[in-house]
Structure 1
Amino acid sequence: MMQKQRAKGQRESVFNNEVISRFELYNSLFLTLPFYKVKDTGTLLPLFIKYCEDGVKNHETPAGIINAFFEKYTQNNSKKDIIDLLFRFIQYIERQVVLFDAVEDASFNKLNADEEHSALLVYLKKGVDNKPLNEKIEKLIDEFSLRLVLTAHPTQFYPGSVLSIITDLTSAIKTNDISTINQLLQQLGKTPFFNKKSPTPVDEALSLAWYLENVFYFAAANIQSEIDQSLNDYNLESKKIIELGFWPGGDRDGNPNVHTDSTIQVSKMLRQILFRCYYRDFRNLKRRITFRGVEDNIALVHDVLYKNAFDPNIETENISDFLIENLNKIKTTLIEDHDGLFSDLVSDLIRKVELYGSHFASLDIRQDSRVLRDVHAYCRNNKPINALYPENYDSLNEEEKIKALVFKSAKINYTEQPDSLTQDTLETIAEIKQIQQSNGEMACHRFIISNCQQASDILQLMELFLWNGWTEDELSIDFVPLFETVHDLAGAAEIMETLYSHSFYKKHLANRGGKQHIMLGFSDSTKDGGYLMANWSIFNAKVALTATADQHQIQLAFFDGRGGPPSRGGGKTHRFYASMGKEIANKNIQLTIQGQTISSQYGSIDSAEFNMEQMINAGISAGMKEKHNILLDPLHKNLLDEMATESYDSYVSLRKHPLFLSYLEKFSPLTLLSKITISSRPVKRNSGGSLKLEDLRAIGFVTAWSQLKQNIPGFYGIGTALKNQEKQGNWDKVVKTYQESGYFKTIIDNCMMSMSKADFSITAHFANDKEYGAFWKMLYEEFELSKTLLLKLSGHETLMENYPVEKRSISVREKIVLPLVLIQHYALEQLQNEVTDEEQQSLEKLSIRTVYGIVNAGRNLA
C-alpha cells in the first residue's frame, strides 16, 4: 500500500513539473498566435477567464458575467462586437486545449513509467518449471485476442492537418524545442479546426484512417513483436493477438448517408492506405538490403507493393500469403548467406503483413433489425421465394416463423423497385463477397444486427444472404446480434439458446470454428435505464450468455459497444475486463473506441501501446486467475439487484418528468447539434419528426448533459440507491461489496470520474427559474446525495482521490474551457429573446462552436 502511495505521489510530482509548468510556459507563446486583433484578444482573455471564475462562484448568469466584462474592459459593446470577440476567445481556447493535450502526451511515458509490466511475461516466468501452468498459458494464448474497433462518432472532429500538427507539437515539446513549438503554434493558429460542410461517411473514414496509418500500424506491430519475443523466449509458438476493426462506411444503422458505394470506397481506401504503409517500409528495407542473392525477390515484392499502393486500375486480390512467402525467402537468404544482417527489418514487415493482411482493419456492417425485417418481407414477395412462405408469415409467432424458414439458396426475380434502405441492404450483401475476394475474408466478415429482439432477426438475415448470391457452404459471415436496452439484455440468453439449438445455425457456427460474436451496447442501455442498471444488466447478460454458450460448447466473444464517457461504457475500461470471473467469457476482448477516446488514449504510438498492453494484461490476468466473481454470491447479487432496481426507478422517474426533454432543449445545445459539421450521422434516428427521447441517439443525449456540466447519465439514481440501502441497515454490506468486488469498485470509480467533470455551480442560477428551478434543484440534490455517499463508500474526501494525476488533469482542463461553457450558455440565453435573423444565425454559430473545445478538453465527455 505504501509503495502504491509513493508511486502516486511521484506521478503527481511529474505531472506538476512536466505538464503544468510546461503548459504555463508555452501558453505565454499564445500572444503571438496569428489571429485578427490578436493583441486585444490575448490581453483580454486572462481577464475574461477571471471574470468567468468569479461570476460562477457568485452564481451569476452567463449574460450578467459577459455583459459586465464588456462594460468594464471594452469600448464597443454592440452585439456584433461582443460576438466577434467571443469568437476570437473561442479560437484561443480551442488551441489551448490542443497545447495542453500535446504537453500531456509528451510526458506520457514519464507519467506511466511505474505501471505494471506485461502480465503475459509474469505468467510465462512462473510457468518455466510448472508444466500444468505452462499448458494453461499455451491454451489461453491460443484462444486470446484483442480487437479494437474504430467507430465514427460526432465527437472526433480534428482533421488530419490538425492531428499532424499535434503529433509534431508533441515531439517538439518532448525536447523543449521552443523555436519549433512557436512555429507550430502559429501554424495551429492559421489552420482551420473544422469543416465548412458536413463530411460524407467516406470523409469520416479517411479522417479516422489517419490513426490507422500513423498510430495503429506501428503500435499494434510493436506490441505483437513483444508478445512474439516473450513466447519465443519460452519456446512457445507465436500467436496473432491483436485485430483491428472499422465502422465508418459499414455502419448504416440509422445513418441515411451510408450506402453500398460508401462501403466499397472505404474498403478500397483501407487497402490502398495499408499498401502505401507496406511500400514505405519496404523502401526503407530495400535501402539496407543491397546484397547478392535477394535481387529477384526484392524486385518482385517492390513491383507488387508499388502497383497495389498506387495503381488505381489494378485488379485487387488478397496477396498477403504471396507477400509473406517472398519476404520469408528474402529473410532466409539473409540468415543463410549474410549473417542475418537486417533480417529483423524483414521480420518486422512480415509481422505487419500477418497482422493486417490485405485489409488493414475489418469493416463491420451494421443495420437495424427493423430494416432487415422489411427487406426479408420484400424478398418474400418475389419469385420463387413467395411460393415457399405462407401469406400470413408476418403475423406468425416467433416459434412458427422459425419453423417456416427454409434456408434455400435462390436467385430472386425482383418485380418491384425496392425502397432505398432495402436496395442498399441487398446490394451490400452481394458486395461483401467481392470485398472478401479483393481484400481477404477478414476484410468484411461480420454483420451486426442492431436492436436484435428475437432469434428470427438473425435467421432471416442468413436467408437474405442465401437469396442474394451466397450459398450455404460459402457463407463466410459472422452474424452478430446487438443487445442494447435493459429489456433486450434480459432476454438475450434465451434468444441465443434458440439459435444454438437450431440445426441450420448450429451447422453454420461449426463452419465458423464454433465461435459466436455477441455485441452488447452500453450507450442505449444507459439512456434507457440509467448508469447502474445499464452496467448491472450487461453484467448479468454476460453471465447468462456465457452459461448458455458453455452448455453448447460455443466459444463466446463479447463485443462491447463502449463510448468515451463512463456513462457509455468508457472510463477505466481495462479494470472491467480484469475483474471478470470465470463465469464470464473474457478470452476475446472486443470493444469500440470512439470519439475523443481515440485521440486521448490512442492518439500517439506511446499511448496506444500502453492502452493496448493494459487491455491485454487485463485479459491475460483474468484468464489465468479465473476467480469466481463474488457478485454472483447471493449476498452481493441480491444487493446489486436491489440497488440497480432502485437506481433504475429513480432514473426512469426523472426521464418521465414532463420537463425532462424540454430542459435539455432549452438549456443545452441539443437541438443545434445537428448543425455541427463534424459528422455525417444525424443526431436522432427519426430525422424528419419531432424530438423524442427514444429516437435521440445516446451520443447527442450524453453530449447535451456534458455541455451543461451536469453529466446526469453518469450518476443519476446511484445516490438514491445507496441512500435506500443505508436506510435499510445494509450499509456494511454495500461497503463489503465495494471492497471485495473489483467490478463493483470500477463501476463506482467511473461514476466518480463522471461526477468530477460536473459543476452545478455553473448553472446554479437555474434555481431561480420559475419553470425549471425545481427541476434543477432535483438534479442538484441527487448529485450532492450521490457525491456524499460515494465518498463515504470509498472512504475518500474528494472525488477521484485515488487517481490524483487524472484528477489534476481534469481540473486544469475544466478551468481552460470554463469560458466556453459560459459563452455557450450566454448564446443559448440570448436565443430565448427577440433577435433578428442575422443575430440568431450568429448566436447559433457561437453556441455550436463552443461544443468542440468543451468535448475535446473533456476527452471522454461524449
Structure 2
Amino acid sequence: MSAIAHHQAERSSAVTEMPDELRADVRLLGELLGQVIAEYGGDDLLADVERLRKAVIAARRGKVSVDEITAMVAEWPVERAVQIARAFTCYFHLANLAEEHFRIRTLRVRDTGEEPLPESLAQAVQELGGERVTELVEGLRLHPVLTAHPTEARRRAVVTAIQRISGQLAAYNSPERGAAERAETRRRLLEEIDLLWRTSQLRSTKLDPLDEVRTAMAAFDETLFRVVPLVYRSLDAALGEGTGTREPLARPFIRYGSWIGGDRDGNPNVTAKVTRDAVLIQAEHVLIALENATHRIARTLTLTAGYTPASPRLRAALTAAENDHPELVSEMATRSPQEPHRQWLLFVAARIVATRQRGLDLAYRSPEELLGDLRTAQESLVAAGAERQAYGELQHLIWQVETFGFHLAELEVRQHSQVHAAALAELAAGRTSERTDEVLATIRTIGWIQERYGVTACSRYVVSFTRSADDIAAVYALAGHALGDKAPQLDVVPLFESGADLANAPGVLSGMLEIPGIQQRLAANGRRLEVMLGYSDSAKELGPAAATLKLYEAQEALAAWAAEHDVRLTLFHGRGGALGRGGGPANRAVLAQAPGSVGGRFKVTEQGEVIFARYGHAAIARRHMEQVTSAVLLASTPSIEARTAEAAGRFRGMAEQVASASEKAYRSLTEAPGFPEWFSLVSPLEEIGSLRLGSRPARRGLGAPRSLDDLRAIPWVFAWAQTRVNLPGWYGLGSGLQAVISESGLDELRAAYREWPLFASLLDNVEMSLAKTDRDIAARYLALGGRDDFVEQVLREYDLTRRLVLEITGHSRLLENRRVLSRAVQLRDPYVDALSHLQLRALSRLRADDGLSEEERERLSTLLLLSVNGVAAGLQNTG
C-alpha cells in the first residue's frame, strides 16, 4: 500500500466515539448556528454550508475526491465563499466551547474524593511520601510569564461573545432547570450566537501594546485572581488534615510575570511610556480585585464582640484608625455595631480604595503594610477561637496579596543586545540617537516603577541574543548613564537562543560572575541567578528534534555549572504555544527536563492563545496549575532525577545521532536556494500581516524574507500551520530516526521511548503535530510555489517521519493512546478542511495575479484572512 493510500485508510478508520454529552452540546450549538445562518442569509446559504460540510466528511472516508471539493468551492462567488468561511469559523468557536464544557464535566466526575486525581497536587504529595516533601514545598516556585501573541487571531469582542455563550450553555445544562427556564436559556443562547455571527471576526485596526495589556487582564479578572488561592488550598489539604482550621502548611508559591508592555525587542511600539502605562493598568486591575475581595469578606464577618471579641492589638488598631479618620471609622461603627472584625476589614477596604485613587493620607504604602493589617484581623480571630474565619476566605485574601501585590505581575523588560551595544557606542561618542534616548528612558521608567510599587514590580531585564558577558554588563553600564547612583535594582537575564549560544552559555555565565552588578545581586539574593532558554529560534534554526536535544544538553551543562559555582539557578523556558516552538503539554515538558535543572523552580512563558486556552475557565486553569506544580515537585526529587539521568546517559549516543541527522535534513531544506521565496508563495505568510494580530512586526526588515533569519519564529510556525503542513513541528525527525535504524535497528529507539521522558515527550509532540497535518491538502499548498523538488522533499520526509514514529511508539494510528486529544482533532478536522479549501481558492488566485482588479484582490484577501482566522480557531495551538 502506498504512503498516500495508507494515510487515507488510517484517517477513515481512526474514529473515536464522541461521548453523548459532548455530542449533544455540539449538536445543540450547531443547530442554533444553522438557524442563525438561515435567518441571516436564507436557506440557500445554509444549504451551501451543509454541502461543503458533508463533502469534506465524505472526503475523509474516501468517498469524495479533493478535486470535486475544489470544483465546488470554485463555483461560488467570492461573497458567498466569505459567508461560508464565517460559518465554519463560528462553528469552531462553538465546538471549542462544547469541548471545554465537556472537559470540565469530566474533571468533576473524576474528582470523587476517594482517590486523588492523576497529576494533582494530592497525588504528587502522596507519591513523594517522605522524600523531602517539606523541603521541596518550602522552595517551590512556579513563575508563568504572560506574553503578547502575534497569532492570537480572535478579537476581544469575539472572546467576550464566546464567554457569554459559555455562561448560557452551562445554565442550559444545569439539571436544576425546569422546562420554562430551559426554554428561556435556549432563547438566550440563540440570541448570543446571533451576536457572535454578526460580530466581525477581523480587526479593523491594528492592536497597540496597551490593547494587548488590557486583553491579558481579562484572564486575571475572570480566572487567575480567584483560582490561585484554590491551588494553594489544594496543596495545603494534601500536606495535612484540617486545612481551613489551622495555620497553612502551604506557602504561596506562584508569581506571575508579564512581557506585555515590556518586551521591546523588535517592537518599536513598546516605549518607556507604554511600559509605565502597562504597570498602571495592571495596578488598577489588582487593586480593584483586592478591594472587592476585602469588601466581600468584610460583609460576611458579622461576628459580634460578645461571641468573638477583638484582640487587644485589633482594638488598638481600631482606636488609632478612629483618631486619624474619625468620620470614616464612626460611619463603619454605626453600620456594624459590636462587630469589630467587620469594622476593621471595611476600614482596610477603604484604604485599598485610597491606594488605587492615590489618597495619600489613607493609602497603603506597600503590600506588606496591607498584609500586616490582614494578619492583625487573622490573629484576632484565632485568639477568639474563630479559626475557620481566620484561615478560610481571609487566608485566601492574604494569599492573593502575597501573590499579586499591588502590581499583579512583575513587568519584565526585554531588549536586543545589539541595541545596548549601539547605545553605549553613541554615549561614548557624545551623540545619542532617538533609540538610545529611549533605552535610557526605559531604565528611568524602571526606577519610577520600583519607587511606586516596589522592586518586585519590575526588576528583570532580559537581554536577547546574549553572546558574551559584555552583553550583560552593558545593561548595568546603561543604568549608570541613565540614573547614576540612583540606578534601579536590576536582575539582568541572559537569553540564549541559537545552537551556538546554547552551547556557549556556561562560559557566558562564568564571565557574568565577574560583573560587579551581578556580584551585588548574588550577595543580596542568596546567590540566585536566572537564565532564559529560547525554544522558538533554536527550533527555527535547527529543526524540532535537534533543538530539543540541544536545549536538553544546555540544561545539563547549566545545572552542572550552577552546582560548581554554588549558584541557585532558575531556568526560564521561552516556550511557545505551538509544537514547533517548544509547545505541548506543560507537565510532560517539566518531567522531561534535565536532572538538577528544575530544583523546585519552573519559569515559563505563556503566550496569547495559550493564555486563554489554559486560563479561560477557572476549572481548567486550576487543573493546569496543579498539573504543572505536581510535575515540578516530582521532577525535583532525587529518585526521579536519578532515573532520568540514567536514561539520558544510556541513550546519549543514539540522541546525538538523531540530532545530527535530523538537523542535516532540516537544513538541507530550509537553507536551499530559493526556499524562503517558495515558502512565501505556498503559505499566507505575506497576508498574515494584514490580520492586525499584534503590535509587533512579523519580520525583521521589509519585503519578502530572503532567509529564515529575516522571519520571526512565531509567523514562521503560524504560516506553516495554515498550510496544514505543520513542518516546524516534525521536519527532520524521520531522517534522524532512520539514521539510527539503519545502524542498529528499532530496539534502542523503542527502549528510549519507554524509559527516557525527554525522548517520549519529543515523539509524542511530533505525533500530535503529524495528526494535525493533512497530506492531501498540504500537497495542494506546496504546489503553489512551482518547485516540485521542494514538494517531493517535504512529503517524503513527512511519510518517513510518520511511519517511523508509529513503528517506534507501537501505535497503529496517530494519537492512538491519547483518546481525548484524538477526539478533539477528529471533531475539528473536517471543518478545518473546509476552511483550507476556501483558503486555497483565495491564495491560488492571489498568487496567480493574472489581471486582478483592486476590488477583486480586496475581496479575495478578505476571504483569505477569514479562513486564516478560522483555521487558527480550529487547530488551536498554531503559533
TM over 0.5: yes
Q: Please tell me the residue identity of whatever aligns with 1:144.
A: L
Partner of 2:3 in structure 1? none
| Mapped pair 1:838 → 2:852 | no
Deviates more, 1:103-112 or 1:543-552: 103-112
**Alpha-carbon shift at residue 51 of structure 1 (Å):** 3.6
Alpha-carbon separation, structure 2, partners of 1:776 and 1:844: 25
Deviates more, 1:170-179 or 1:145-154: 170-179
| Mapped pair 1:41 → 2:24 | no
Partner of 1:408 in structure 2? none
| Mapped pair 1:104 → 2:99 | yes
Alpha-carbon separation, structure 2, partners of 1:606 and 1:236: 23
Alpha-carbon separation, structure 1, partners of 2:718 and 2:705: 19
Q: Please tell me the residue identity of whatever aligns with 2:449.
A: I
RMSD (CA atoms): 2.7
Closer, same or farther: CA 513–59 of 1 in aligned 2, 3 Å: farther
**Alpha-carbon shift at residue 341 of structure 1 (Å):** 6.9
Partner of 1:174 in structure 2? 170
Deviates more, 1:31-40 or 1:433-442: 31-40
Of 493, 514, 517 in structure 1, the residue corresponding to residue 530 of structure 2 is 517
Partner of 2:818 in structure 1? 803
Give me the TM-score of the superposition, normalised by structure 2. Answer: 0.86
Alpha-carbon separation, structure 2, partners of 1:704 and 1:183: 34
**Alpha-carbon shift at residue 814 of structure 1 (Å):** 1.9
Alpha-carbon separation, structure 2, partners of 1:301 and 1:634: 57
Partner of 1:87 in structure 2? 82
- 2:682, 2:785 within 8 Å by CA — same for their partners in 1? no
- 1:659, 1:775 within 8 Å by CA — same for their partners in 2? no
Partner of 1:356 in structure 2? 404
Alpha-carbon separation, structure 2, partners of 1:316 and 1:293: 21
Alpha-carbon separation, structure 1, partners of 2:17 and 2:513: 53
* Deviation by residue 1:325-345 (Cα, 9 ceiling, x = unmatched): 222233344444584574423
| Mapped pair 1:306 → 2:350 | no
**Alpha-carbon shift at residue 848 of structure 1 (Å):** 1.7
Partner of 1:226 in structure 2? 234
* Deviation by residue 1:198-247 (Cα, 9 ceiling, x = unmatched): 01100111011111111111122211222234446498743221111111
- 1:60, 1:765 within 8 Å by CA — same for their partners in 2? no
Deviates more, 1:225-234 or 1:757-766: 225-234
- 1:147, 1:245 within 8 Å by CA — same for their partners in 2? yes
Alpha-carbon separation, structure 1, partners of 2:873 and 2:471: 38
* Deviation by residue 1:754-788 (Cα, 9 ceiling, x = unmatched): 11000010143468779322321211111011010
Q: Please tell me the residue identity of whatever aligns with 2:871.
A: I
Alpha-carbon separation, structure 1, partners of 2:369 and 2:251: 20
Alpha-carbon separation, structure 2, partners of 1:771 and 1:172: 49
| Mapped pair 1:145 → 2:141 | yes
**Alpha-carbon shift at residue 184 of structure 1 (Å):** 2.1
Q: Please tell me the residue identity of whatever aligns with 2:422.
A: D
Secondary structure of the equivalent of 1:146?
Answer: strand
**Alpha-carbon shift at residue 611 of structure 1 (Å):** 0.7
Alpha-carbon separation, structure 1, partners of 2:140 and 2:208: 36
**Alpha-carbon shift at residue 623 of structure 1 (Å):** 1.3
**Alpha-carbon shift at residue 825 of structure 1 (Å):** 1.3
Alpha-carbon separation, structure 1, partners of 2:42 and 2:219: 33
Secondary structure of the equivalent of 2:494?
Answer: strand
| Mapped pair 1:615 → 2:628 | yes
**Alpha-carbon shift at residue 253 of structure 1 (Å):** 0.6
Closer, same or farther: CA 470–232 of 1 in aligned 2, 3 Å: farther
* Deviation by residue 1:503-558 (Cα, 9 ceiling, x = unmatched): 65333322233111111111111110000011001000000011111111101111
**Alpha-carbon shift at residue 97 of structure 1 (Å):** 1.0
Of 741, 744, 752 in structure 2, the residue corresponding to residue 729 of structure 1 is 744
- 2:16, 2:823 within 8 Å by CA — same for their partners in 1? no
Alpha-carbon separation, structure 2, partners of 1:315 and 1:699: 47
Partner of 1:406 in structure 2? none
Aligned residue runs from structure 1 range 420-499, under 5 A: 420-469=434-483, 471=485, 476-499=489-512
| Mapped pair 1:164 → 2:160 | yes
Closer, same or farther: CA 142–260 of 1 in aligned 2, 3 Å: same
Alpha-carbon separation, structure 2, partners of 1:594 and 1:631: 33
Q: Please tell me the residue identity of whatever aligns with 2:623.
A: F
Partner of 1:739 in structure 2? 754
Partner of 1:330 in structure 2? 377
| Mapped pair 1:186 → 2:190 | no
Alpha-carbon separation, structure 1, partners of 2:452 and 2:752: 52
**Alpha-carbon shift at residue 694 of structure 1 (Å):** 0.3
**Alpha-carbon shift at residue 43 of structure 1 (Å):** 2.4
Of 192, 195, 210 in structure 2, the residue corresponding to residue 202 of structure 1 is 210
Give me the TM-score of the superposition, normalised by structure 1. Answer: 0.88
Partner of 1:754 in structure 2? 769
Partner of 1:396 in structure 2? none
Partner of 2:178 in structure 1? none
Alpha-carbon separation, structure 2, partners of 1:745 and 1:126: 21
Partner of 2:223 in structure 1? 215
- 1:240, 1:355 within 8 Å by CA — same for their partners in 2? yes
**Alpha-carbon shift at residue 13 of structure 1 (Å):** 8.6
Partner of 1:372 in structure 2? 420
Alpha-carbon separation, structure 2, partners of 1:749 and 1:594: 21
Alpha-carbon separation, structure 1, partners of 2:523 and 2:127: 35
Partner of 1:388 in structure 2? none
Aligned residue runs from structure 1 range 592-741, under 5 A: 592-624=605-637, 625-628=639-642, 629-630=644-645, 634-687=649-702, 691-741=706-756
Secondary structure of the equivalent of 1:518?
Answer: strand
Closer, same or farther: CA 498–664 of 1 in aligned 2, 3 Å: same
Partner of 2:521 in structure 1? 508
* Deviation by residue 1:566-596 (Cα, 9 ceiling, x = unmatched): 1111112211212335343342101111132
Closer, same or farther: CA 483–169 of 1 in aligned 2, 3 Å: same
Deviates more, 1:252-261 or 1:229-238: 229-238
Deviates more, 1:316-325 or 1:505-514: 316-325
**Alpha-carbon shift at residue 102 of structure 1 (Å):** 1.2
Alpha-carbon separation, structure 2, partners of 1:318 and 1:482: 34
Of 782, 794, 811 in structure 1, the residue corresponding to residue 797 of structure 2 is 782
* Deviation by residue 1:798-854 (Cα, 9 ceiling, x = unmatched): 111110110111121122222211111111111113201111122122212211111
Closer, same or farther: CA 237–818 of 1 in aligned 2, 3 Å: same
Alpha-carbon separation, structure 2, partners of 1:575 and 1:69: 41
**Alpha-carbon shift at residue 119 of structure 1 (Å):** 5.8
Deviates more, 1:668-677 or 1:684-693: 684-693
Alpha-carbon separation, structure 1, partners of 2:439 and 2:737: 47
- 2:426, 2:433 within 8 Å by CA — same for their partners in 1? no
- 1:557, 1:589 within 8 Å by CA — same for their partners in 2? yes
Of 364, 367, 373 in structure 2, the residue corresponding to residue 320 of structure 1 is 367
- 1:279, 1:309 within 8 Å by CA — same for their partners in 2? no
Q: Please tell me the residue identity of whatever aligns with 2:686.
A: T
Q: Please tell me the residue identity of whatever aligns with 2:437.
A: Q
Aligned residue runs from structure 1 range 395-410, under 5 A: none
**Alpha-carbon shift at residue 22 of structure 1 (Å):** 2.0
Closer, same or farther: CA 245–278 of 1 in aligned 2, 3 Å: same
Q: Please tell me the residue identity of whatever aligns with 1:772.
A: R
Alpha-carbon separation, structure 1, partners of 2:22 and 2:357: 42
- 2:142, 2:254 within 8 Å by CA — same for their partners in 1? yes
Of 285, 297, 312 in structure 1, the residue corresponding to residue 344 of structure 2 is 297
Closer, same or farther: CA 515–186 of 1 in aligned 2, 3 Å: same
**Alpha-carbon shift at residue 380 of structure 1 (Å):** 2.4
Alpha-carbon separation, structure 2, partners of 1:746 and 1:468: 46
Matched-pair identity in %: 25
Aligned length: 801
Partner of 1:271 in structure 2? 283
- 2:264, 2:413 within 8 Å by CA — same for their partners in 1? yes
Q: Please tell me the residue identity of whatever aligns with 2:368.
A: D
Alpha-carbon separation, structure 2, partners of 1:634 and 1:339: 56
Alpha-carbon separation, structure 2, partners of 1:585 and 1:768: 45
Q: Please tell me the residue identity of whatever aligns with 1:259.
A: T
